[in-house]
Amino acid sequence: MPRGDKSKYTDKKQRKAEHIEESYEKRGVSEKEAEARAWATVNKQSGGGERKGGSGKGKSETAKSADRKDSAHRAADARKGKSPNKGSARSSGSSSTSLADMTRDQLMEKARERDIRGRSKMRKDELLKALS
């Protein structure tokens, strides 16, 4: 499949990309940029073209579903003004041991010490809640 060829995408994915592209164009994004963003969004949510052929690389349906769900949550948070990086900068030279200043690995160690169930699947924010 030549680079840029969209023939391997399902009709549904092509319609979705068109809809996203139109939405960007309504917001004043150039046609070329809108198309690029639309296909990037479709690829992020679905893992790319899904018809037989291509390199054979791919994700399981479960992995794709998890990625879509995670992507949707991050997008919703971004619309609300929440950024995964806001407040993550650590103050230099500080030896604070507050939970918020710890890395995910450090939080995992604390969770392990407290025997918190389900910790291996938790993100940093979830570990913070469980440890508080």
Domain boundaries, the chain: 11-51+59-78, 101-131
- Whether residue 19 is predicted with pLDDT greater than 70 in this model: the reply is yes
- The tens digit of pLDDT for each residue in 47-102 reads 666 655 555 456 677 776 777 777 777 777 877 777 666 555 554 444 457 888 88
Burial class (CB in 10 A: 0-12, 13-18, 19+), 105: exposed
72 alpha carbon, distance to own chain's centre: 7
pLDDT at res. 92: 45
Question: CA 25, CA 56: separation in Å to the nearest integer?
Answer: 33
Sequence-separated (6 or more) residues with CB below 8 Å from residue 108: 119, 120, 127
CA distances from 128 to 40, 43, 74, 118 (A): 32, 32, 18, 13
Looking at every residue in the chain, the average pLDDT score rounds to 78
How far apart CA 43 and CA 80 sit, in angstroms, is 23
Residue 93 carries which side chain, given as an amino acid letter?
G
How many other C-beta atoms are found inside a 10 Å radius of the C-beta of residue 42?
24
